[in-house]
Amino acid sequence: MTRQYLFLAITFLFLGGCAQQIVSKTVLYDDWKPRLVNQKTWHVEGKLAFISPDERQSANLNWQQRENNNDLVLTSFIGTRILQLKQTSKMAELEFDDKKYFDTDAARLLKRLTGFTLPVNNAGSWLKGTIDDQSLVVDQLGRAKQVLWFDNNGKKWQIDYSSYIQSEGYWLPTKLTLKHQQIKIKIQLYDWRFN
């Protein structure tokens, strides 16, 4: 009888140990910011809320970059694909309402077909918080807090970074807000990956 209790106790301890969540905190690179600037291959998932005087929309986002190629997929909260925007250095393709549309400018294509304004042409720098501009305000750890930035189409954006996570040796934004005139875009990022 004692053996059975001992066996059960050991089994429960083993299973309890297996059930513990393993949190791996990476060591921060001393030169994390230049490394992050040069990181051209990344994948991030999160949520996006688009707020204008006329409407409010929200979606899940899945955004990948491989060198100069971007792939942004927005889905509803039940998993239905809203759109997919693929971008290369020369061409943009938007799949929307079961049709494909093409343009040389991804942001212009997105705005024209959906009415959605988002500076997708320079996503790597503002999404990672690595914009280098005179207006950049950083915190005590060198992370972007706020920047006034002009996209490729000359639109002025105020970008506020309110939260970061340390992952894969970098400080990575998890909450940011973009504002252009009366448009506000809130983005929450929760799964950064690099290759």
Q: How far apart are CA 176 and CA 184, in angstroms?
A: 11
Q: What is the mean pLDDT of the chain?
A: 86
The answer to whether the beta carbons of residues 108 and 95 sit under 8 Å apart is: no
Residue with tokens 């986002």: 61
* Other CB atoms within 10 A of residue 67 CB: 9
Note the pLDDT of residue 153: 81
60-70 pLDDT, tens per residue?
A: 999 999 988 99
Separation of CA 99 from chain center? 25
Q: pTM for this one?
A: 0.81
132-162 pLDDT, tens per residue?
A: 889 999 999 999 999 998 888 888 999 999 9
The answer to whether the beta carbons of residues 18 and 12 sit under 8 Å apart is: no
